[in-house]
């Protein structure tokens, strides 16, 4: 029988064991402390993270499953990050949430953990924590919301906000109609129902092997989610007995499969920065270029917004992730295991596509080549990303005059100025939005187009930025430029009027300025130092230690693992 970690607290007759047991008793029987795994249910439920507010109910089902399997379930509320509510950007606290969860798991008498997340940053932060503390861990994604409708048409959460607001700016939709659509946008509990970051990270977590296969993508109100949560509660007890920890499961092969899945579902670019950060916690040698090498030739099979038409409820009905992965099973690494202890491939045997309009077959993909392209060049020596499937084909090779903005505030102040010297061929360049510069790398890279160009019917332009973009967004956007301007990247030296060339086929993004001339330029001070003034607290720590996007934007001292052992005891 496996020696439980919690026995370090509860076993024995000494004073410390007495203290640990006595304070936890409160009605539980003697045998709760001898040989029964202590299972934390790390929940990001919060009313300020509306996408995760229902996780309390999901936790109750996990709890039942843990009990049935002989474990002791323990609720552990952890830091929750609500994407739509937090200022200046939820990403500023992904690493903090990961650090806090890791430390709470390590400090407490826990043998295994079920991780409940949903909204964008919550599953990444939970997985980063679990990877660093290396206790048996399994994710239950909270699931997407049901499809809302407005005036008879489905609304894609997030994506349609951008589309409708652009229509207002273009004068084709009234402000009153726009406001009226607000109460139709969020039909039910759950996270955004497009293939945005939340849906992407849930599915990618399953492809990685950290979710019981078949659960990710189950709509939040669907009773099968509770059934899956119940089963996961039982499973985690088995994982503890088997010693099935993140470091025994998650290998380069797991990340390979996650990248194939990311490409085949047409997932969010945000998954790149999150997967790099998780791999960094595990010591898996994952590089930015792996996303291009492994993913860029994988066909996009899922016709979901923002790149396509349907929504997550349709995706689940059509067969879900297992049906997608079955279509590309020859591209998967057969060695990768899952939380069940069995290889991912074994879980794909009975996984038909029920609706080939939503999940395409390999012979009729939505796009022959999907994934995420990694660009390099004189504007991004350490790399930048573009999602070709969400871009306009005619802009994938483009040369245009830069119109440069030093911050998102500068952008908002000038973009609709009728006097702004910009045309449809211009390249909008926004800097000061990287991890250090903003700080927190916000989702602003899909800059709204100038009103005067929208009125002319322009719907896409090449945009370049050192920030991220919402997974629900679309357009020809080059993002995650590294190094960012505030870290001394050449993006800081570009000026309005420079020629910028984008060639996605050649994987290049360049500023056509001779290197010696670029080197002679001096960036303005705010571009280099950032626009906020993080004098103290978390922001200070973050700015001083955050890494660049090409390695996952983790804090330098959080990369790697401390494991679960704690040698000292204060009593
Ligand atoms: Fe929470 Fe979109 S705002 S998932």
Amino acid 297: pLDDT: 87
Averaged confidence pLDDT in the chain:
95
C-alpha torsion angle, residues 136, 137, 138, 142 (rounded to 10) = 160
Verify whether ligand 1 is closer than 6 Å to residue 84 (CB atom). yes
Residues 6+ apart with CB under 8 A from 294: 256, 259, 260, 263, 371
pLDDT at 274 exceeding the cut of 90: yes
pLDDT band at 411 (very low <50, low <70, confident <90, very high): very high
Q: CA 107, 123, 359: angle at the middle one, nearest 5?
A: 155
Verify whether ligand 1 is closer than 6 Å to residue 135 (CB atom). no
- Which atom from ligand 1 is nearest to the alpha carbon of 51? 1
**What tens digit of pLDDT does each residue of 357-381 get?**
999 999 999 988 877 999 999 999 9
- For residue 202, the CA-to-ligand 1 centroid distance in Å is 12
pLDDT band at 415 (very low <50, low <70, confident <90, very high): very high
Verify whether ligand 1 is closer than 6 Å to residue 201 (CB atom). no
> Are the beta carbons of 374 and 292 closer than 8 angstroms?
yes
- For residue 89, the CA-to-ligand 1 centroid distance in Å is 13
- For residue 472, the CA-to-ligand 1 centroid distance in Å is 9
- Which atom from ligand 1 is nearest to the alpha carbon of 52? 1
Rounded Cα–Cα distance for residues 462 and 478 (Å)? 8
- For residue 201, the CA-to-ligand 1 centroid distance in Å is 11
Q: In what order do the strands lie in the sheet containing 112-117?
A: 72-77, 38-43, 112-117, 137-141
**What tens digit of pLDDT does each residue of 187-244 get?**
999 999 999 999 999 999 999 999 999 999 999 999 999 999 999 999 999 999 999 9
Amino acid 532: pLDDT: 57
Most confident of 163-172, 257-266, 523-532, 534-543: 257-266
Which domains, ranges and CATH numbers included, belong to the chain?
37-147+187-348 (no CATH), 148-185 (no CATH), 373-551 (3.50.30.80)
- For residue 121, the CA-to-ligand 1 centroid distance in Å is 9
The residue nearest atom 2 of ligand 1, judged by CA position, is: 192
- For residue 392, the CA-to-ligand 1 centroid distance in Å is 25
- For residue 31, the CA-to-ligand 1 centroid distance in Å is 41
Verify whether ligand 1 is closer than 6 Å to residue 198 (CB atom). yes
Verify whether ligand 1 is closer than 6 Å to residue 189 (CB atom). no
Verify whether ligand 1 is closer than 6 Å to residue 192 (CB atom). yes
Verify whether ligand 1 is closer than 6 Å to residue 66 (CB atom). no
Rounded Cα–Cα distance for residues 425 and 432 (Å)? 23
- For residue 8, the CA-to-ligand 1 centroid distance in Å is 39
The residue nearest atom 1 of ligand 1, judged by CA position, is: 119
Which residue out of 47, 119, 443 has the highest number of ligand 1 atoms within 8 Å of its CB and is therefore the one to mutate?
A: 119
**What tens digit of pLDDT does each residue of 205-216 get?**
999 999 999 999
Amino acid 326: pLDDT: 98
Verify whether ligand 1 is closer than 6 Å to residue 161 (CB atom). no
* CA distances in angstroms from 36 to 13, 32, 110, 140, listed in the order given: 18, 6, 11, 22
pLDDT at 529 exceeding the cut of 70: no
- Which atom from ligand 1 is nearest to the alpha carbon of 120? 4
**What tens digit of pLDDT does each residue of 19-65 get?**
999 999 988 888 999 999 999 999 999 999 999 999 999 999 999 99
- For residue 119, the CA-to-ligand 1 centroid distance in Å is 5
Instruction: Indicate the pairing of strand 427-430 with strand 462-465.
Output: parallel
**What tens digit of pLDDT does each residue of 459-497 get?**
999 999 999 998 777 799 999 999 999 999 999 999 999
- Which atom from ligand 1 is nearest to the alpha carbon of 83? 3
Among 167-171, 416-420, 510-514, whose mean pLDDT is lowest? 167-171
**What tens digit of pLDDT does each residue of 544-569 get?**
999 999 999 999 999 999 999 887 88
């Amino acid at each position: 029988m496996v020696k439980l970690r919690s026995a370090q607290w509860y076993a024995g007759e000494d004073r410390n064991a007495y203290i640990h047991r006595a304070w936890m008793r409160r009605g539980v029987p003697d045998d709760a402390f001898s040989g029964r795994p202590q299972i934390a249910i790390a929940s990001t439920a919060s009313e300020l993270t509306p996408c995760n507010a229902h996780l309390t109910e999901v936790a109750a089902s996990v709890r039942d499953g843990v009990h049935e399997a002989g474990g002791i379930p323990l609720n552990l509320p952890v830091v929750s990050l609500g994407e739509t509510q937090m200022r200046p950007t939820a990403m500023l606290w992904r690493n903090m949430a990961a650090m806090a969860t890791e430390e709470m798991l390590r400090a407490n008498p826990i043998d295994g953990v079920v991780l409940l997340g949903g909204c964008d940053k919550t599953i990444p932060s939970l997985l980063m924590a679990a990877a660093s503390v290396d206790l048996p861990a399994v994710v239950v994604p909270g699931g997407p919301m049901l499809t809302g409708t407005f005036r008879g048409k489905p609304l894609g959460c997030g994506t349609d906000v951008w589309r409708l607001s652009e229509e207002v700016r273009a004068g084709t939709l009234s402000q009153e109609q726009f406001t009226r659509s607000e109460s139709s946008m969020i039909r039910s509990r759950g996270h955004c129902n497009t293939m945005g970051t939340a849906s992407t990270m849930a599915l990618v977590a399953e492809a990685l092997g950290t979710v019981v296969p078949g659960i990710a993508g189950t709509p939040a109100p669907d009773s099968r989610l509770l059934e899956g949560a119940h089963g996961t509660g039982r499973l985690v007890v088995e994982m503890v007995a088997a010693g099935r920890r993140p470091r025994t499961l998650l290998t380069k092969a797991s990340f390979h499969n996650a990248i194939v899945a990311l490409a085949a579902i047409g997932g969010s670019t945000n998954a790149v920065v999150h997967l790099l950060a998780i791999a960094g916690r595990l010591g898996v040698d994952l590089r930015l270029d792996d996303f291009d090498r492994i993913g860029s030739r994988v066909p996009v099979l899922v016709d979901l917004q923002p790149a396509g038409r349907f929504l997550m409820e349709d995706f689940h009905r059509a067969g879900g992730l297992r049906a997608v992965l079955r279509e590309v099973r020859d591209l998967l690494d057969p060695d990768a295991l899952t939380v069940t202890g069995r290889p991912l491939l074994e879980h794909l045997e009975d996984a038909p596509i029920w609706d080939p309009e939503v999940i395409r077959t390999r012979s009729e993909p939505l796009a022959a080549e999907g994934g995420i392209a990694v660009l390099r060049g004189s504007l991004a020596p350490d790399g930048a990303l573009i999602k070709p499937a969400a871009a306009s084909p005619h802009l994938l090779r483009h040369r245009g005059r830069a119109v440069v903005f030093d911050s998102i505030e500068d952008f908002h102040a000038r973009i609709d100025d009728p006097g702004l010297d910009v045309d449809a061929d211009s390249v909008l360049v926004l800097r000061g939005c990287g991890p250090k510069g903003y700080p927190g790398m916000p989702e602003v890279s899909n800059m709204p187009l100038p009103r005067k160009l929208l009125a002319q019917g322009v719907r896409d332009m090449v945009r370049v930025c050192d920030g991220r973009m919402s997974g629900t967004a679309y357009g020809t956007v080059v993002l995650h430029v590294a190094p960012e301007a505030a870290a001394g990247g050449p993006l800081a030296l570009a000026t309005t009027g420079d020629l910028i060339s984008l060639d996605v086929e050649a994987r290049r993004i360049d500023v056509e300025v001779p290197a010696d001339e670029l080197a002679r330029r001096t960036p303005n001070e705010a571009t280099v130092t950032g626009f906020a003034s993080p004098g103290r607290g978390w922001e200070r720590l973050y700015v001083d230690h955050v890494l660049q996007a090409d390695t996952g934007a983790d804090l330098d001292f959080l990369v790697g693992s401390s494991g679960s052992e704690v040698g000292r005891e204060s009593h």
